[in-house]
Amino acid sequence: MDKILILDFGGQYKQLIARRVRECNVYCEIHPYTLEIEKIKEMNPKGIILTGGPASVYDGKSPTCPPDLFNLGIPVLGICYGSQLMAYRCGASAVSETKDMDSGTGYACNPEAVRTAPVSEYGRTEVVIDAPDSLLFRDVETRDGTDENGVNTVCWMSHTDYIARIPDGFRITAHTANCPVAAMENPAKKLYAVQFHPEVEHTPEGRKMLRGFVMDVCGCSGDWQMSSFAERTIKELREKIGDSHVLLGLSGGVDSTVAAALLSKAIGDQLHCVFVDHGLMRKNEGDEVEKIFGSRGSFDLQFVRVNARERFFRRLIGQTDPEIKRTIIGEEFPRVFGDEARKLKGKVRYLAQGTIYPDVVESGDGKTGDVIKSHHNVGGLPIEVVRELGFDETPIEPLRMLFKDEVRRVGLELGIPRELVYRQPFPGPGLAVRIIGEITPYKAEIVREADYIFREELHKAGVDENLGQYFAALSNMHSVGVMGDHRTYGLAVVLRAVITSDFMTAEAAEIPWAVLQITMNRIINEVEGVNRVLYDITSKPPGTIELE
């Protein structure tokens, strides 16, 4: 099976790069930049992609790689920081053999290859492709036609350092007004570099560029398919689990639903599912989960619903920092889950999770990337609880290597109803990340009702199917209003709807004005304590989809 190896230098878009590679029906894996050369040779990838990252090659503690990486005969594509690192490392022929100024490794480099940009580039940027014959760019469609300087296209830039001088054997293949080397390549050695981010939606032709690298440069066949994943995974689960019992924390979301379905198909009622109702679910969602997975549902498994609302709200009193709130929920969930697990001590051997690949990539290490948000659903129960209960210390994660859309495709294969497979994404901490400031039962009820109204009106108008995600959130802002000739001082609800294909980048959706007006009127009249409704038009980046 063809494989592309992605080396992570702390880039926030690393999983998006992997997603784009898989869109080519080519399998790929993300590994830390510290992966040893011998291990890379053993993996025998068809190509290597170096991600972006927040570091500078001039920082003595910045992540780096040995120049041997570029002499393996394996195609390499450097993106943003990865491109600068390639220029820095491949500049050896331009200087004498000296000690590396960054890491003291003894590798030669070119300290003049990368400089700080006179003008930082961030956002959509006009890029002139100087070599339309490049395997990266030959399928790129022009934006405004071709001028005397080359082919124009738009790419997403996010950098302060830039490549000032290309290494020997390379040619410049693209530039911008402020960046003399927006792309470079050495076709003889199959080394390619781009200063921009081809993986994000804001680079419209980026998919074609990455496909050019994966298919044309690396020569991948594109024969990795999802059609047999469910059958293969069910067989593997049966072989691994045997007669043992498995415990799964079930939220009712897509990931845990598909994980439960796979395990149910494999081991039936040897699967024990625990649904922890923390009081921060959407309206009626707890009852819906029980209807689907409980004794009257269609899944062959053992289901328990735990009412832990008081427990969660008590711990959240006075907390306003979003990371602290996430941490509290991330701590309390395994405690509640652990209490239920203790009731099954001696019966259950394995712990299962609905972990998917973005969870693994974002939370698997904290060494290379800046923290954006913590994740509650990687790691499962604390190791001391796992050992106390005699569980196997390696959890069963049947979806660990899949992206969200791949999980959905597996769900449909398993016969899960489409409305469940494509239900709106909902964060593990629930409404906690949709309430700015302190969380109380009163505020949770406000956002729950407002969210229900918004979702209902979008569905009535028939615009919900085209949206990636939509919800209501509660701001921490009070404002003056007038209702029934009386002054009010109420809370402001924020409506959010975005269009996205990958959830790594997103644009605010243009909801019809009439729909927003109807929603606003209903929320103000039906939800006590609210006198103002706002619509969030922030894209991602610079914002995130959730408010916290």
Question: Which residues are catalytically annotated?
Answer: 80, 197, 199
- Beta carbons of 109 and 91 less than 8 angstroms apart: yes
Burial of 140 (0-12, 13-18, 19+ CB in 10 A): buried
Structure tokens at 460: 């009535």
In the structure encoding, which two tokens stand for residue 331, read together? Answer: 């701590």
What are 309's two structure tokens?
């609302």
Nearest to 441 by CA among 306, 313, 330, 278: 313
Q: Which two tokens stand for residue 44?
A: 């025998």
CA distance 458 to 500: 17
Non-local CB neighbours of 356 within 8 Å, separated by 6+ positions: 255, 399, 400, 402, 403, 404, 407
Distance separating alpha carbons of residues 186 and 516, to the nearest angstrom = 53
Contact, 338 vs 381, CB < 8 A? yes
Chain-centroid distance, C-alpha 483: 43
Angstrom distance (rounded) from CA 109 to CA 456: 60
H or E element that contains 471: strand 469-483
Q: Within 10 Å of residue 137's Cβ, how many Cβ atoms?
A: 24
Structure tokens at 513: 């004005």
Query: What's the gap between Cα 364 and its chain centre?
Result: 12
Residue type at position 480:
V
Q: CA 343 to CA 74: how far, in whole Å?
A: 53
Backbone phi and psi for residue 467, each to the nearest 5 degrees, phi listed first:
-100, 140
**What's the gap between Cα 9 and its chain centre?**
16
Tell me the β-bridge partners of 27: 3
Residue 505 φ/ψ, nearest 5 degrees: -130, 155
Q: Distance (Å, rounded) from C-alpha 161 to C-alpha 102?
A: 15
Alpha-carbon gap, residue 514 to 518, rounded angstroms? 6
Q: Which residues are 383's β-sheet partners?
A: none
* Burial class of residue 243 in the structure, from the number of CB atoms within 10 Å of its CB (0-12 exposed, 13-18 middle, 19+ buried): exposed
In angstroms, the CA 396 to CA 355 distance is 9
